[in-house]
Amino acid sequence: MCAPNGARKTREDHPRLPITPAELADCAQSILEAGASIMHVHVRDEHQGHSLDVDRYRAAIAAIRASVDHRLIVQVTTEACGIYTTDQQMEMVRELRPEAVSLALAELCPDRQAESMAAEFYGWLRDERIMVQHILYSADELRRFSDLRKKGVITDNKPFVLFVLGRYATDLTGRPEDLDSFVAAAPSDLSWAVCCFGRTESDAARRAAAAGGHARVGFENNLLLPDGDRAPDNAALVRLAGGAARRQGRPVATADEVRSMFGAQPK
């Protein structure tokens, strides 16, 4: 998976950060050629600010589809970024009906009081066959995720989670060795990927491949090559992760192979 822009960085951070639908379409072609199967997409407003606007998402998805058809899964974000409420996050997804979506457990189901509403939304996503990735920031969150599955709040047939190493609020550089605590707490039926802040991203992707997991790379979390030089584009980071996986005997999946794994439908 490639996350090419995120909610916070702008072209001042990197001139090749894709913002507009046309730029996202060009990026989609380059990361597809580099080996990506999923594109994690954020859209921005006219000032490059974070947005969950449905029409902006439709424009971005249309441009990406015109560029690469369905050879990439387009995953939209529900990230609140301190701007959107849980109701607004869910409303966007219900209106857009994307092929795939990422949901932070801490935002969509922050406490026991939110569980009933979250269960209804998670059930709707399952019935709509929208591919969900649940974002988790610690092994404790993973254990809570497992508890919510046992309680029937989360009923994914094939749950897929993202382990995040490093955070905006604390250390921007993730520690790849922290992946071990997630893996130790993960049940055997869970599919997972890792993303990692900073130049340690490639090491985290390599560790994930060795441990049977998957990886998300890209400018959302990291602009640097392992040697500390600035990456020329998102495709360079995808090639690094894919190469590391192949050297460990882990083939890189196509979008249709991912759809088959998770029962997703092209949209």
Q: Report how far residue 38's alpha carbon sits from residue 34's, in angstroms, rounded to the nearest whole number.
A: 12
Burial class (CB in 10 A: 0-12, 13-18, 19+), 233: buried
What values do phi and psi take at 27, rounded to 5?
Answer: -65, -40
Amino acid symbol at 112: R
Task: Please name each of the domains of the chain with its CATH number.
Answer: 78-248 (3.20.20.70)
DSSP element (H, E) containing 120:
helix 115-127
What is residue 264's predicted lDDT score, i.e. its pLDDT? 84
Give the burial string for 172-206 (b: 16+ CB within 10 Å, else e). eebbbebbeebbebbeeebbbbbbbbbbbbbbbbb
Q: Report how far residue 90's alpha carbon sits from residue 38's, in angstroms, rounded to the nearest whole number.
A: 21
**In whole angstroms, how far apart are CA 88 and each of 59, 94, 108, 125, 151?**
19, 10, 11, 16, 25
User: What are the percentages of helix, strand and coil residues in the chain, rounded to 5?
Assistant: 45, 15, 40
C-alpha triplet 146, 151, 154: angle, nearest 5°: 65
Per-residue pLDDT tens digits of the chain, which is 267 residues long:
999 999 999 999 999 999 999 999 999 999 999 999 999 999 999 999 999 999 999 999 999 999 999 999 999 999 999 999 999 999 999 999 999 999 999 999 999 999 999 999 999 999 999 999 999 999 999 999 999 999 999 999 899 999 999 875 555 789 999 999 999 999 999 999 999 999 999 999 999 999 999 999 999 999 999 999 999 999 999 999 999 999 999 999 999 999 999 988 888
